[in-house]
A and B are shown apart, each in its own frame.
Chain A
Amino acid sequence: MKKFRWQIIAVLLVVALVGLLAGGCGGGSSSGGKDTVKVGIILPLTGSEAMFGEMEKNSFELAYEELKAAGKTTVGGKEIKLMYEDDQGKQDVAKSATEKLVNQDKVNMLSGGYSSACTNVIAGSAQTLNTPFLVVTGSSDDITKKGWQYVFRGSAAPASKYTISFWDMLEKVVKPQSVAIIYENTDFGTSGAKGFREECNKRGIKIAFDQAYEHGAIDFKPMLANMRSTNPDMIFATSYVMDASMIVKQMKELDFNTKLFVGNGAGYTMPEFYENAGAATDYVASTALWVPNVTWPGAADYFNKYKQKYGKEPDYHGAQAYATMYIIADALGRAKDMTNTGIQQALKQTDMMTIMGPIKFEDWDGYTNQDRPNTYVVQWQKGKLEVIWPEDVKSASYVYPAPKWSER
């Protein structure tokens, strides 16, 4: 009977483990009842995007605690409850998570959405299920371009609009003759590159090189060597963080000089970018939606609080989640009733100040329920991220053209 006993022990162990895990992650998914307003939040809590999912979840919690202390988490006698689901960074999982939250958990509204691909799926399902969905990060243009009334995007700009102040700077300072465009071959990457490409064509700037790459590559040198042979004045890259640092590190290794390297937000503004690529980050510029030293009320406060509580520096992804929590609480507080239309209307009438700047959901330029973004240009200077454009909010002057590798 030895074997039989083993099996019992194994089964007990598994049960104990599952119990532990469920207890750990669920965080009280039991109660429910009718005296809560449920907000379903879908984020990549595992998988290769988990780092961002974690940061956004932490920021939601941080904001929630602050709101709770201010008594704003109870609306009309009902408490707001956050229910997290993991999309693993995969579209199919995102879809089933959305359907589970709406059909089984009967949430009143949805939020979250990190990668554009997943956000797109969640938005589509939310619209079909008539459930309001407030996007946190997913920035692909088409998410708010389909006329979906239940989909709102406040803290995130459409990927092609990340570059508004950057174009201003290009016109006044850089004036490039030819540019190279590289981007990761995902919704986010193609969407960012497309916006930039169209703008280049409109302004008659020559595109010398234009290529996508596969996320997570170890060796970017073939592409970089190819790009060097076209000798562009400026490089515009849309990447997530680790690809970003691999690219600039390998540019340094190749001794590939360019007057200005500009990242399209995302990876190029994160603390990990500098940690990983070190001195290779110097003079890399980037478009940005948020930096801790931006002038909006509460921004620096959030940065410090987060760093103190979680022992890590947050970046704009965390700020988006933090601001989103405030928008949710504000909208639920104003909603006439907790039905889908009630919340949808309350969201539509939002007009508030957050750490991401003023938020207002408007229909413009083909977008529906899209906030008009505030954008900046930042540049890494000796390991510090400085705001260099617009000039009236700058924290340091720009360095252009960037010195050659051999002259640094």
Chain B
Amino acid sequence: MLLGQTIICGLLLGGMYALIAIGMTLIMGVMKIINLAHGALVMVGMYVTYVCSKNYGIDPYIGMFIAMPVLFLLGCLIQKYMINRLVEVDSILPENQVLLTVGIMLVLTEAARLMFKSDYRSVTTSYSSDTVFLGAMSISVPLLIGFFIAMVFTLLLHLFLTKTDIGKSIRATSQDRDAAVYMGINSSKITMITFGIGAALAAAGGSLLLPLFYLFPDVGHLFTAKSFIITILGGMGSTMGAAVGGLILGLSESLGATYINMGYKDVVGLVIFILVLLFLPGGFRSLVKR
């Protein structure tokens, strides 16, 4: 029973981690940089949903569909007017574009603090603390809904990337940018759209967590750290890798919390992170390829 409870909690939470991390891995794949502002984008998405809920009484799950377009637009603008501008300058090494994302993270965080203060905020819905019991195991309803929506989004994204024209262009750009440009793909437009989608997915993940968790301007660091581990775990740039990586991180954290000690929960994730780097540098993606 204890094992069942642990596995269910871990998987459900892992599904949400996965959704957030997929946004990061997508950007990673196309841009070849780690977007350290990713957690801050999650935070902005959460605030949009929060404001919708607090001021206009919109349910977080519907507010999510407002937060996603807003963040898509924000992501596009960041890419077009900030990151792409750096890409154009030859003297700036691509690695240093990461520094720009740190700057963006700081600006977003402090802007949120300016508008909302540092207070902890949360959205309480009628179903926030609803649970269903499976035998003696309790499953939180918002966590369950969040997990399913996250999985649906992951599937949709997968279809989008494999079936549509833009999706194929995104994959082409991430495989070989120069070759993609020679084939007539407008790479700056593609990077812009990718960043937008990544940001929208971050917003979705944040909104799904809102009924369960809480919100403050610095909440993003938590998500940046988790997404980073998952991105490495799944193989940088791999969507399915990130989905599996998210589930594995959620599960191992949960198992670690139950059977080792909850104080070492984050250590479990980091140990896996180091082991993957040492013995499986390509992440889970390289397992599939072999």
Residues of A within 8 A of B (CB): 46-48, 50-51, 53-54, 185, 211-214, 216-223, 225-226, 229, 241-242, 245-246, 249-250, 252-255, 272, 275-276, 278, 280, 312
User: Does the CB pair B6–A222 fall under 8 Å?
Assistant: yes
State the CA gap A220–B13 with chains docked (Å): 11
Pick the residue among B117, B129, B266 that contacts A249 (CB under 8 A). Answer: B129
Residues in A with CB closer than 8 Å to B216 are 48, 50-51, 242
Q: Given contacts A54-B118, A221-B5, A255-B131, could you give 17 more A-B pairs where the C-beta distance is less than 8 Å?
A: A50-B113, A51-B117, A185-B263, A212-B261, A214-B263, A214-B264, A214-B265, A219-B13, A222-B9, A222-B262, A225-B5, A242-B120, A242-B216, A246-B213, A246-B214, A254-B131, A312-B119
Residues in A with CB closer than 8 Å to B131 are 253-255
What is the CB-to-nearest-CB distance from B152 to chain A, in angstroms, rounded to a whole number?
Answer: 21
Residues in A with CB closer than 8 Å to B283 are none
User: Does the CB pair A225–B258 fall under 8 Å?
Assistant: yes
User: Does the CB pair B113–A219 fall under 8 Å?
Assistant: no
Task: Identify the closest chain B residue to A50 (Cβ).
Answer: B118
What is the CB-to-nearest-CB distance from B165 to chain A, in angstroms, rounded to a whole number?
Answer: 33
User: Does the CB pair B140–A222 fall under 8 Å?
Assistant: no
B134 within 8 A of A: no
B53 within 8 A of A: no
State the CA gap A181–B253 with chains docked (Å): 21
User: Does the CB pair B263–A211 fall under 8 Å?
Assistant: yes
Interface of B is mostly: helix
What is the CB-to-nearest-CB distance from B288 to chain A, in angstroms, rounded to a whole number?
Answer: 29
State the CA gap A312–B221 with chains docked (Å): 27
User: Does the CB pair B122–A218 fall under 8 Å?
Assistant: no
What is the CB-to-nearest-CB distance from B5 to chain A, in angstroms, rounded to a whole number?
Answer: 5
State the CA gap A50–B209 with chains docked (Å): 22
Residues in A with CB closer than 8 Å to B209 are 218
Pick the residue among B2, B10, B217, B265 that contacts A225 (CB under 8 A). Answer: B2
What is the CB-to-nearest-CB distance from B218 to chain A, in angstroms, rounded to a whole number?
Answer: 5
Task: Identify the closest chain A residue to B221 (Cβ).
Answer: A48
Residues in A with CB closer than 8 Å to B262 are 211-214, 217, 220, 222-223
Per-residue contact bits, chain B 252-268, to A (CB 8 Å; 1 contact, 0 not): 00110110011111100
Residues in A with CB closer than 8 Å to B6 are 221-222, 225
User: Does the CB pair B258–A226 fall under 8 Å?
Assistant: yes
User: Does the CB pair B120–A241 fall under 8 Å?
Assistant: yes
User: Does the CB pair A221–B9 fall under 8 Å?
Assistant: yes
